[in-house]
Amino acid sequence: MTGAQWEIAHGRQRAIVTEVGATLRSYDVDDRALIAGFGAEEWSHAGRGQVLAPWPNRLGDGRYSFGGLDAQAALDEPERNNAIHGLVRWLPWELEVKAQNLVAALCHVFPTPGYPFNLELRVEYRLGRDGLTVASLATNVGAETLPFGLGFHPYLAPQGELIDTALLRLPAHERLVLDERALPTGEVRAVEGTEYDFTQSRPIGATKLDTAYTGLDRGADRLAWAELADPGGERAIGLWMDEGFGHLMCFTGDNLGPADRRRAVAVEPMTCPPDAFRSQRGLIILEPGQQWDGAWGMVLK
């Protein structure tokens, strides 16, 4: 259902990327699934492992204006009157490079009513001693200046049936307040002392998150690290983002179907927050010929 299945491996690691969407379908270390993926005969439900471009998360009314052009994207979250997660996650990608531990794919986004611009995306998945690295390159291949945003949607898989006893740490000191349509109101609040504060590792418990975070802590290497640890803290899945990704979403899956509800935690690196095409907060602007690059990755600690 998702086209060709591109498998890569390195030592005890194995990952599968699909032709449709350049989606990360699975990532295992020592036969342990680090992400909640999907089967070879399934398609990606709830954004599992998908690339979110040319905008991540929600776009209110699917409507925006940029550079004198008016755009209207399909409302694929009709219950909230939103467009969601861009366009490329359902498109076939062209295989550019395939090696034992690396796969890279290209997607050319041609002008459409929802995105009247000319964009080329390259995403590379590489397994190595430091785990999985996902590197992205966006190029404006058109004649017009364009807006751009990018996100990824991995669901980190806990050891255990539910996420409640897993220990979560997020490198974020602020959140964007969202309205009933899950769109930012423009207000940004500190998370300290609230249920949204995971700056120190703690059990998720009954906390429900579909939350847009920013104000990310970074180390000397300029990376921001999130972590989902086993209840006893013996092993942990680490997820890092470079400076290209200044926002993240965290989603505990409470509105998913019974088989998937609160079974994994989506920790989503994003270059910009929801609705950035309208607010222009964190929006990347690419002139003709200009490029943007960024990377994130995962490792079992």
Gap between the Cα atoms of 39 and 16, Å rounded: 10
Instruction: Tell me which amino acid residue 297 is.
Output: G
* pLDDT at residue 232, rounded to an integer: 82
**CA dihedral for 175, 299, 221, 23, sign (positive or negative):** negative
The values of phi and psi at residue 38, to 5°, are -155, 165
Average confidence (pLDDT) over 3-9: 98
Number of Cβ within a 10 Å radius of residue 114: 18
Gap between the Cα atoms of 114 and 237, Å rounded: 36
At residue 196's C-alpha, the angle toward residues 86 and 179, to 5°, is: 50
Among candidate residues 102, 118, 115, the one with its CA nearest the CA of residue 74: 115
* pLDDT at residue 49, rounded to an integer: 97
- Residue 101 banded pLDDT, cuts 50, 70, 90: very high
Instruction: Tell me which amino acid residue 300 is.
Output: L
- Determine contact, residues 71/65, Cβ cutoff 8 Å: yes
150: helix, strand or coil: coil
Contacts with 169 (C-beta within 8 Å, 6 or more apart), sequence order: 198, 199, 200, 201, 202, 225, 226, 227, 228, 229
* pLDDT at residue 259, rounded to an integer: 83
Gap between the Cα atoms of 102 and 8, Å rounded: 6
Which tens digit of pLDDT belongs to each residue from 18-44? 999 999 999 999 989 999 999 999 999
At 197, which CATH number? 2.70.98.10
Average confidence (pLDDT) over 85-105: 98
- Residue 58 banded pLDDT, cuts 50, 70, 90: very high
With 90 as the cut, is the pLDDT of residue 161 above it? no
Assigned token pair, 217 = 């802590």
Q: What is the extent of the structural domain holding 203?
A: 5-300
The whole-model pTM stands at: 0.96
Tell me the β-bridge partners of 243: none
- Determine contact, residues 267/248, Cβ cutoff 8 Å: yes
* pLDDT at residue 286, rounded to an integer: 98
Gap between the Cα atoms of 273 and 247, Å rounded: 6
Total domains in the fold of the chain: 1
Gap between the Cα atoms of 88 and 267, Å rounded: 19
Q: For the chain, give the mean pLDDT.
A: 96
Among candidate residues 61, 55, 90, the one with its CA nearest the CA of residue 78: 61
Which tens digit of pLDDT belongs to each residue from 223-278? 999 999 998 878 999 999 999 999 999 999 888 888 889 999 999 999 999 999 99
Site of tokens 């004649």: 143
